[in-house]
């Protein structure tokens, strides 16, 4: 059975790259172009993993992580992506319940390895 990953990323090129790489690896993808859209999708869908960019319009990745953990009480793994490699953001993401943090730019192969490890595949 294939696992579903919700990708919340406002950079269209990055979103396409992530979708392509994940589909190639056999994952089903759900795409959200901003945090608000992701939040709407999360209320209806239940993916196996969230891949969330921190810097997004409307609702950022930290707010989205907080929503998933606190409002929905979800234990679904969250991997946070950010070009803002600030330690403070990373700490906030982990404190809110993120399972992993990957700084941009990253190796797509490393991302796949980390996702598979989290999902125990």
Q: What is the mean pLDDT of residues 95-116?
A: 94
Long-range contacts of 31-39 (CB under 8 A, 24+ apart): 31/6, 31/7, 32/6, 32/7, 32/8, 33/9, 34/8, 34/10, 34/58, 34/59, 35/8, 35/59, 35/60, 35/61, 35/63, 35/64, 37/8, 38/6, 38/8, 38/64, 39/64, 39/67
pTM for the complete prediction? 0.94
pLDDT at 82: 86
Q: Would the pLDDT of 1 be above 70?
A: no
Mean pLDDT of all residues belonging to the chain: 93
Domain residues for 83?
Answer: 4-118
Q: Residue 103 is part of a domain; what is its CATH number?
A: 3.40.50.2300
User: Which residue, 100, 104, 99, 108, is CA-closest to 85?
Assistant: 104
pLDDT band at 70 (very low <50, low <70, confident <90, very high): very high
Cα 1 to Cα 26, 92, 118, distances in angstroms: 10, 33, 16
Tokens of 85: 């490699």
Report phi then psi at 17, rounded to 5: -60, -45
Q: Domain tally for the chain?
A: 1
pLDDT at 90: 84
């Amino acid at each position: 059975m294939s696992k579903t990953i919700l990708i919340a990323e406002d950079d269209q090129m990055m979103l396409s790259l992530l979708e392509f790489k994940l589909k190639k690896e056999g994952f089903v993808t759900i795409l959200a172009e901003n945090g608000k859209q992701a939040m709407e999708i999360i209320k209806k869908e239940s993916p196996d993993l969230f891949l969330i960019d921190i810097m997004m319009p409307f609702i950022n990745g930290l707010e989205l992580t907080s929503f998933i953990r606190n409002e929905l009480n979800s234990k679904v793994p969250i991997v946070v992506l950010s070009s803002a490699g600030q330690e403070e953001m990373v700490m906030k993401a982990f404190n809110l319940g993120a399972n992993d943090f990957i700084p941009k730019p990253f190796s797509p192969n490393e991302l796949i390895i980390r996702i598979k490890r989290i999902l125990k595949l």
